[in-house]
Amino acid sequence: MIKGITLVQQIAAPNELDELTSLFTALGFEQGKGWQNAEGRGSALLAPVGNLELVTGRIPSVPPVLIETTQLDHLHATLSKWLSARYPAEEVSTRLSVVEETHWNSRLFTVRLSSGLELGFWQSENPLHGQPDALEGDLSAVGMKFAVITTRWNTVITDRLLQGSLDCLHRSGAARADVQVVRVPGAWEIPNAARTLAESKQYDAIITLGCLLRGETAHYEAIYNEVARGIGQSQQETGIPHAFGVLTCETLEQALDRAGLKAGNKGFEAASAAIEMVSIQRKLGKKAAGVDA
């Protein structure tokens, strides 16, 4: 089995080897086990990932040694300072290039060191570059059916949450006939309605909306705990995604902020989460059946 790739580069003089080893260590390379014999010595510099790239046709106009980084500008400044301590300013500019954008969605600079060793340092501009492939849900609600549960209690808040949810669903392609709105007296009744709707198997997801405001008694904590537990239990036992859009706030002002005034609309966010979860469930089902998602 392949374990790693090593590129061997000859350095002109022992003092240059020491300098370059010191530089690469400062840049973040891990120093490996070196060696020495009558003919010379070597210094091993280890990187977390190594790649071997083979090409046909024209060789890309990049240095033969490319080093991927996560802090390109910081490394450029470090190398500029290191070169400035050893060479006149006009020579530094010929050895160290400016950071430029490439045609492969990245930024790159090159440096020609004292031994004639030319390196390219680059950083991808793709935020998902190097990340493991993940199965994620889409935000298209076309062909999906939803039940939206809201409360008559605190309607000054819940009507705003409902408006946000419906806006998200319809913007995402859900047909109006595929969205059922159910009104219950208060937050306490949400879990019962959610369970009934989920067990009917007529809906792909349930969106729960409500608002609990803290009072001067323990009533708030008792209601909230049971509502959260009931919604979660309904989701786990029925397998139907339940999006949680029940606000728990200290004051009416906080609730208004979370219902579209200042801090986004939690009804919109709950609907978005419901769409994504339905999409993920469908993809997971296809994957389990051996069908391309």
Residues 152 and 284 in one domain: yes
pTM (2 d.p.): 0.60
Helix (H, G, I), strand (E, B) or coil at 76: helix
Tell me, yes or no, whether 151 and 120 share the same domain.
no
Residue 5 located in a structural domain: no
What's the confidence (pLDDT) of residue 51?
Answer: 84
- pLDDT for the residue numbered 170: 95
Is 106 in the same domain as 67? yes
Instruction: Please report, in tens digits, the pLDDT of each residue of the chain (293 residues total).
Output: 777 888 888 888 888 898 889 888 888 888 888 889 988 899 998 888 888 888 888 888 888 899 999 899 999 999 999 999 999 999 999 999 999 999 889 999 999 987 788 999 999 988 777 667 778 888 999 999 999 999 998 889 999 999 999 999 999 999 999 999 999 999 999 999 999 999 999 999 999 999 998 865 567 788 889 999 999 999 999 999 999 999 988 888 888 888 877 768 999 999 999 999 999 999 998 888 776 65
**β-bridge pairing 106-112 and 118-124:** antiparallel
pLDDT at 2: 75
List strand residue ranges (DSSP E) for the chain, in order: 30-31, 35-37, 40-42, 45-46, 65-68, 100-101, 106-112, 118-124, 146-151, 179-184, 205-213, 242-249
pLDDT for residue 215:
67
- Enzyme catalytic residues: 219
Decide if 45 contacts 25 (C-beta within 8 A): yes
What pLDDT is recorded for position 115?
76
Residue 168 CB neighbour total at 10 angstroms: 23
The CATH number covering residue 229 comes to 3.40.50.960
pLDDT at 109: 96
Please indicate, yes or no, whether residues 151 and 278 belong to a single structural domain of this protein.
Answer: yes
Pair (97, 154) in one structural domain? no
Residues 280 and 152 in one domain: yes
The pLDDT assigned to 263 comes to 67
Same domain for 151 and 107, yes or no, is no
Query: What's the total number of domains in the chain?
Result: 2
Angstrom distance (rounded) from CA 104 to CA 59: 15
Asked if residue 196 and residue 110 are part of one domain, the reply reads no
What's the CATH code of the domain at 20?
A: 3.10.180.10
Residue 140 lies in a domain: no
Nearest to 97 by CA among 83, 88, 86: 83
Q: Tell me: do 170 and 72 sit in the same domain.
A: no
Predicted local confidence at residue 290, as pLDDT:
75
Residue where a domain terminates, one of 74, 89, 124: 124
Q: Are residues 277 and 150 in the same domain?
A: yes
Residue 207: inside a domain:
yes
* In a shared domain, residues 102 and 153: no
129 inside domain: no
Q: Which residues contact 241 (CB under 8 A, 6 or more apart)?
A: 204, 205, 206, 235, 274, 277, 278, 281
Judge whether 258 lies within some domain. yes
Q: Which residues span the domain enclosing 87?
A: 14-54+61-124
Query: Is the domain of 111 the same as that of 175?
Result: no
Residue 4, in any domain of the structure: no
Residue 177: inside a domain, yes or no?
Answer: yes
Whether residue 134 lies inside any domain: the answer is no
What are residue 181's DSSP bridge partners? 148
